[in-house]
Chain A
Amino acid sequence: MTPVSSKLYTDDVSLLMVLIDTNPFFWNSVKSTLAFSTFLSNVLAFLNSILLLNQLNQVVVIATGYNSCDYIFDSSDSQSQTQRVEQMLQKLEEFVDKDESLGREDSVDGPGFSLLSGSLSMALCYIQRVFRSGPLHPQPRILCLHGSPDGPGQYVAVMNSIFSAQRSMVPIDSCVLGAQHSAFLQQASYITGGVYLKPQLLDGLFQYLATVFATDLHSRAFLQLPKPAGVDFRASCFCHKNTIDMGYICSVCLSIFCKHQKKCSTCGSVFGQAQTQDSSTPDRKRKTPLDA
């Protein structure tokens, strides 16, 4: 009655959900240092090595686009290795074309952000399906190969995904290819216990991927993986979607605002006098040193 394969599902069998940033504005901005095609050949070599590490390993690729997100590849429903690559590249090409056609003509200054919250949500749904499939399943993890800057408008959705991943004990690894650190992915990896890496030299991408992100979760315990160089815990204000490190918080619903408001736009509470809360803060401060 027990399927033969279930005996082979040991703790080092992995399900790797790879989220590839396909934002054309981002790839255009880095084309001198890392062309999209070079990036893809590095990633394909990496994915092949994952599949070769253990015959039960599974790889699912989701494209994080500029206007949409979609599943690109699932190793559980394809056969030979050569077909795999062709199949994936073809799906990716279709996706990029479709993603572009969805775009409106409005001009974008800077690379603009891609839909990270969408691909993260899809990956988590897929992982839940794997959990549903029975007590014997590969150990899932998510790897974000991301370059676009954070979209502050996605703050709540990305955080929701992070917390859901944390509850399911799914680590979110991130490899940031852009010029700046990503506060979203720093928090995602910190909260879920994943690895956050911003490679110094992008032409050595395959080495970074193979040494840092190829090991299964069980074997990670024996490795010295990169430690976070700080975590950016800034939040986005609800009013302008700006990233802020100081702000005002509604005491009723905890909404964050960058400037003082008369009324909370989220829960409708009307705020008391601004002066009283300003004076209360130093008050309480004077008290605290006596605590110890």
Chain B
Amino acid sequence: MFDKETKDGKKQFNRGDEEDDDGEDDKGLDAWERAYADERSWESLQEDESGLLRPIDNKTLYHAQYRRRLRTASAARIQKGLIRFLYIVIDLSRAAGELDYKPSRMVVVARQVEAFIREFFDQNPLSQVGLVTLKNGVANCLTDLGGSPESHIKALMGKLESSGDASLQNGLDLVHSLLNQIPTYGHREVLILYSALSTCDPGDITETIQKCKTSKIRCSVIGLSAELYICKYLCQETGGSYHVAVDEPHLKELVLEHAPPPPAIAEFAIANLIKMGFPQRAAEGVISICSCHKEAKVGGGYTCPRCKARICELPTECQICGLTLVSSPHLARSYHHLFPITPFDDVPASVSNDPRNLPKTCFGCQQSLLNPASQAKLTARPKCSKIQNVHSWPVSCYTIGNMPGPCVCCPKCKQYFCLDCDIYIHESLHNCPGCESFRHSRPVGAVEG
């Protein structure tokens, strides 16, 4: 009853919230499953000592789950932000025109590549992508390596025609020659989306595969029809992955798997210091001539810090002085991986049961830590979809009872926080409000040897 009413309310109220990160919670459930899940409301009840029914204290349960996530995440801290140079090779041979995917294989592939390119640049801010097509037995370089998603997508959408045979060897040869020019700090990768069931090659493809292997080019293939031995061999030799998609959702999943950086393998890339500039954004309404399109433009745009040329889009390389230009907020998005905040300590029951030991409220959100019952009226409602906890909690997760709520304590600043803040702080904010609010204890951003 309660659920139904609030679900409607949620829909009305959050008309514009669709883009939210956390709106995905319900996506996995079909409508019929959801109704079923709602009706299992008896499962969220338990009997207390006196035989009365009360909601299960899921809050502490969810908190325990989150603690486990936190531990595994900090144990397996992979190196993020590697600089990747990736060529996407798209098979546009006759086989790509087949209609087993709707409306056709190549349209579906193009759609997935578009989504992939956007996701890729979000997760790999300094990396670059290029596009190669296979058609009529030859390989064509559609776009050079670059950092602007729009130009790749535009080029791809304009060239969607299929004909002739696909040549894996020609494709690999071309990509090999292109990737050999890139700086040594970059990871070299190829992602091949292969529709054909054969390859029409001018020579011995195994030689080409060995060439790629020695150049440390990681080749991965996603097939659209059936498994091919030569693709499997290529991926095995070069350390890539090989999968065959069964339908469009599966294809999407397989393609997007390549967006996060592969675990860094030391021998694959040499660490390097790259000189970069952080251009300023020009005032709105200023008219200037850009160096990339050679046009006079009004408003927006960025200025190269070295030569003061005007650039339309980031990231890019200055056309005048060659400096690599990036947007500094783009880099900063990954810094919380570098400076993770320490997990908060549980407050033992012996301490938290005595109200004199605790501050009255959570340091972060001012919610009372003492008496959750008084807060129950306010909080025992379903939550807004903008909530930042990745695993949002069901309605029943509030302790109704006259006991001190569970809380946690930051080991560095010794401030107390409620469990909600604990999760928000570690999973979205990545700052401890306590540590940030005192001048003498400032761990964030400190250079730690």
Report A's interface with B, CB cutoff 8 A: 1-2, 6, 9, 66-71, 74, 102-104, 115, 117-119, 121-122, 124-126, 128-129, 131-137, 153-157, 159-164, 167-169, 187, 190-191, 227-236, 238-239, 241, 244-257, 260-261, 264-267, 269-272, 274, 276-278, 280-285, 287-291
Please tell me if the beta carbons of A272 and B271 are within 8 angstroms of each other in the complex.
Answer: yes
Binary contact readout B57-95 vs A (1 if CB under 8 angstroms, 0 otherwise): 000000000000000000000011111000000000000
Asked whether any CB of chain A lies closer than 8 Å to the CB of B270, the reply is yes
Interface residues in B398-449 (C-beta closer than 8 Å to A): 420-421, 424-425, 428-433, 436-440, 442, 444-445, 447-449
Q: Which residues of B contact A284 (CB under 8 A)?
A: 181-183, 317, 322
Asked whether any CB of chain A lies closer than 8 Å to the CB of B383, the reply is yes
B431 contact from A9, A136, A137, A160, Cβ within 8 A: A160
Q: Say what secondary structure dominates the interface of chain A.
A: mixed
* Nearest Cβ on chain A to B282's Cβ, whole angstroms: 6
Q: Which residues of B contact A249 (CB under 8 A)?
A: 126, 273-276, 326, 331
Report B's interface with A, CB cutoff 8 A: 1-2, 5-6, 9-10, 13-14, 17, 20-21, 79-83, 125-126, 143-144, 146, 181-186, 264, 269-285, 302, 305-306, 317-319, 322-324, 326-329, 331-339, 362-367, 378-379, 381-388, 420-421, 424-425, 428-433, 436-440, 442, 444-445, 447-449
List 7 A-B pairs, minimum CB-CB distance, nearest first.
Answer: A125-B364, A118-B437, A269-B271, A285-B322, A134-B381, A118-B436, A129-B365
Q: Say what secondary structure dominates the interface of chain B.
A: loop
* Nearest Cβ on chain B to A114's Cβ, whole angstroms: 9
Q: With the chains together, A267 CA to B432 CA distance in Å? A: 22
Q: With the chains together, A122 CA to B413 CA distance in Å? A: 14
B146 contact from A161, A167, A244, A291, Cβ within 8 A: A291
B338 contact from A104, A129, A255, Cβ within 8 A: A255
Please tell me if the beta carbons of B329 and A159 are within 8 angstroms of each other in the complex.
Answer: yes
Can you spell out 14 A-B residue pairs with CB atoms less than 8 angstroms apart? A103-B439, A128-B388, A129-B365, A133-B379, A156-B335, A156-B336, A169-B20, A227-B285, A239-B447, A241-B445, A251-B269, A254-B334, A267-B79, A282-B322
Q: Kindly report which residue of chain A lies nearest to residue B423, judged by CB atoms.
A: A128
From known contacts A168-B388, A169-B17, A245-B280, infer whether A251 and B83 are also in contact, taking CB-CB under 8 Å: yes
* Nearest Cβ on chain A to B27's Cβ, whole angstroms: 18
* Nearest Cβ on chain A to B416's Cβ, whole angstroms: 13
